[in-house]
């Protein structure tokens, strides 16, 4: 099996571990379905970004803004805040999560950038009152609204324009955001005019240029092309007396979901981009990684409920479903699926082929198709690379309580979100009065 190697989720003999804890032991204690994250894996990815930026002269002043939507667990936000992270948010709710997760850690609000095409007035107010670092503005109408809200509060809003450089990141169309046809960002040809407008508005302060071209990008070329276009814009703006202090390169660096994926290492991605800045005026450099920081730091643990052999297909019906991990249904995404205990069954060739499916009433409810697995009912499986866009996209569809979450740290396990109970799922609902009878 050509699976993704991870030092933090690895077999010892035939038993799959999270750091120093057998996954079977975690499942026995906390039940399934269950998200399990590795603190060491999260920290290692963070440090790879941090060290590359610290070593390059072009990024002497740098800020890593973790993209909260990839995984917005308070425990994970807290871990990154302690490491000195900034945050890229896309809603007022995410800002409140960041603030709740970082109470007692100084300066976090001042390291938040606010992206997204639909910021409401209430969200702008919240962010202005919190004193965030920058608004990444995505339209002319948003500039006007932000100017008005800031004026009303007697504040000045720091802004970047999120520029759409029209490069093809060659990823899944649903996670490709930097093409002309996308709803995101401001077309680069219109950017100079909007920067002039922003500079003229009394309650805005132009700070930087921002872009984010897509997600799960597996080569450096689209990033380099986008940066080249941003730098041309920057030169033009400075000629027109609009000084730029920071450059936000966005997120989007991919992770290996299977052994055949070969995304660049973090330094191989960042160094050529930073080299493009050599010889220029010093800028504060920002990046907004989401998936790369958390994706391979988590797995979804699940139990096989039933085997259902068929004439055409065999089904393994598990206790996790599309409501827990939506990526396969939404993007036809691949996740490796590994047995938590390899056994004699697993080594006897050839393994039967299974579609690994959940109990939800949708044909799209699968976590993996046509997988060779030697299984029995009751076996535990680990759905790998589930740390990003897993729990954060989960729902209660079919009235399924969402999974619990565990953070493993060496040989310790911490429950970071308990399992929901059913009464909580309808706690906000109420019944109308009984109809009057005639
Ligand atoms: C989603 C998002 C990111 C993070 O993308 P990843 O592919 O997870 O790195 C960064 N910036 C913005 C504006 C986003 O919307």
> Ligand 1, closest atom to CA 388?
8
Q: Which of 48, 67, 217 to mutate to test the pocket of ligand 1 (most atoms within 8 A of CB)?
A: 67
The per-residue pLDDT of the chain, averaged, comes to: 95
What CA–CA distance (Å, rounded) separates 8 from 108? 28
Told to judge if 361 belongs to the known catalytic residues of this protein, a careful annotator would answer yes
Per CATH, domain 39-290 is 3.40.50.2300: no
**431 C-alpha to center of ligand 1: Å?**
40
Let me know: does 414 contact 75? Beta carbons within 8 Å: yes
What CA–CA distance (Å, rounded) separates 201 from 255? 41
Q: Which of 119, 209, 290 to mutate to test the pocket of ligand 1 (most atoms within 8 A of CB)?
A: 290
Q: Is 116 in the pocket of ligand 1 (CB under 6 A)?
A: no
Residue range 209-220, pLDDT digits in tens: 999 999 999 999
Phi, psi of 169 (to 5 degrees): -80, -5
Strands 157-164 and 186-187, bridge-based pairing: parallel
> Ligand 1, closest atom to CA 292?
9
Backbone angle region of 10, left / alpha / beta, with phi > 0 → left and psi within -120 to 50 → alpha = beta
Residue range 300-322, pLDDT digits in tens: 999 999 999 988 889 999 999 99
> In whole angstroms, how far apart are CA 290 and each of 189, 287, 296?
28, 10, 11
- Give residue limits of the domains in the chain: 9-38+295-425, 39-290
For the CA atoms of 237, 238, 239, 240, the dihedral, rounded to the nearest 10 degrees, stands at: 60
Per-residue pLDDT band at 176 (split at 50, 70, 90): low
Q: Is 290 in the pocket of ligand 1 (CB under 6 A)?
A: yes
Q: Is 215 in the pocket of ligand 1 (CB under 6 A)?
A: yes
**109 C-alpha to center of ligand 1: Å?**
19
Residue % of the chain over a pLDDT of 90: 89
Q: Is 250 in the pocket of ligand 1 (CB under 6 A)?
A: yes
Atom 10 of ligand 1, residue of closest alpha carbon: 251
> Ligand 1, closest atom to CA 177?
15
Largest CA distance in the chain: 84
Task: State the pLDDT at residue 179.
Answer: 66
List the one residue out of 104, 111, 103 whose CA is nearest residue 65. Answer: 111
Backbone angle region of 131, left / alpha / beta, with phi > 0 → left and psi within -120 to 50 → alpha = left
Catalytic residue among 65, 134, 211, 361: 361
**356 C-alpha to center of ligand 1: Å?**
29
Q: How many alpha carbons lie under 13 Å from residue 330 in its C-beta half-sphere? A: 14
Residue % of the chain over a pLDDT of 70: 95
**216 C-alpha to center of ligand 1: Å?**
9
Residue range 332-373, pLDDT digits in tens: 999 999 999 998 665 666 889 999 999 999 889 999 999 999
Q: Go through the chain and tell me how many residues it has.
A: 438
> Ligand 1, closest atom to CA 389?
8
List the one residue out of 36, 19, 25 whose CA is nearest residue 404. Answer: 36
CB proximity list for 105: less than 8 A, separation 6 or greater: 78, 81, 82
> Ligand 1, closest atom to CA 175?
7
Pick the CATH number of 9-38+295-425 from 1.10.8.60, 1.10.443.10, 3.40.190.10, 2.40.37.10: 2.40.37.10
CB proximity list for 117: less than 8 A, separation 6 or greater: 138, 139, 142, 183, 184
Per-residue pLDDT band at 414 (split at 50, 70, 90): very high
Residue range 247-298, pLDDT digits in tens: 999 999 999 999 999 999 999 999 999 999 999 999 999 999 999 999 999 9
**183 C-alpha to center of ligand 1: Å?**
15
Q: Which of 174, 215, 218, 393 to mutate to test the pocket of ligand 1 (most atoms within 8 A of CB)?
A: 215
Q: Is 327 in the pocket of ligand 1 (CB under 6 A)?
A: no
Task: State the pLDDT at residue 377.
Answer: 97
Task: State the pLDDT at residue 36.
Answer: 98
């Amino acid at each position: 099996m050509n699976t993704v190697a991870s030092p933090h989720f690895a077999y010892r003999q035939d038993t799959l571990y999270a750091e120093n804890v057998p996954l079977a032991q975690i499942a026995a204690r906390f039940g399934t379905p269950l998200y399990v994250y590795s603190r060491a894996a999260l920290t290692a990815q963070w440090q790879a970004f941090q060290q590359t930026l610290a070593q390059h002269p072009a990024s002497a002043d740098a800020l890593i803004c973790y993209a909260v939507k990839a995984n917005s667990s308070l425990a994970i936000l807290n871990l990154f805040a302690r490491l000195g992270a900034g945050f890229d948010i896309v809603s007022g709710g995410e800002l409140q999560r960041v603030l709740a997760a970082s109470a007692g850690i100084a300066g976090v609000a001042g390291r938040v950038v606010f992206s997204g095409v639909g910021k409401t007035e209430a969200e702008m107010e919240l962010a202005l009152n919190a004193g965030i670092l920058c608004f990444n503005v995505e339209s002319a109408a948003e500039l006007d609204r932000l100017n008005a809200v800031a004026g009303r509060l007697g504040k000045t809003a720091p802004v970047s324009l999120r520029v759409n450089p029209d490069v093809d990141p060659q990823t899944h169309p649903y996670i490709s955001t930097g093409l002309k046809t996308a709803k995101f960002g401001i077309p680069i040809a219109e950017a100079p005019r909007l920067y002039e407008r922003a500079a003229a508005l009394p309650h805005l302060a132009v700070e930087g240029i921002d872009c984010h071209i897509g997600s799960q990008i597996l080569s450096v070329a689209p990033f380099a092309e986008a940066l080249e276009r941003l730098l041309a814009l920057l030169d033009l703006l400075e000629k027109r007396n609009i000084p730029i202090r920071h450059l936000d390169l966005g997120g989007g660096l991919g992770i290996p979901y299977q052994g055949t994926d070969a995304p660049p290492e973090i330094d191989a991605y960042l160094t050529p981009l930073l080299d493009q800045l050599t010889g220029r005026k010093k800028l504060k450099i920002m990046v907004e990684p989401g998936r790369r920081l958390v994706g391979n730091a988590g797995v979804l643990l699940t139990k096989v409920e039933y085997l259902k052999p068929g004439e055409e297909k065999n089904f393994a019906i598990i206790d996790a479903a599309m409501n827990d991990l939506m990526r396969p249904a939404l993007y036809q995404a691949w996740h490796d699926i590994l047995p938590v205990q390899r056994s004699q069954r697993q080594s006897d060739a050839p393994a039967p082929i299974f579609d690994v499916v959940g109990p939800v009433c949708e044909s799209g409810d699968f976590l993996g198709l046509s997988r060779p697995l030697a299984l029995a009912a009751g076996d535990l499986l680990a759905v790998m690379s589930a740390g990003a866009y897993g729990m954060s996209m989960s729902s209660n569809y079919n009235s399924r309580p969402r999974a619990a979450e565990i953070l493993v740290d060496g040989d310790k396990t911490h429950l970071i979100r308990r399992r929901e109970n059913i009464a909580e799922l309808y706690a906000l609902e109420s019944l109308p009065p009984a109809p009057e009878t005639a």
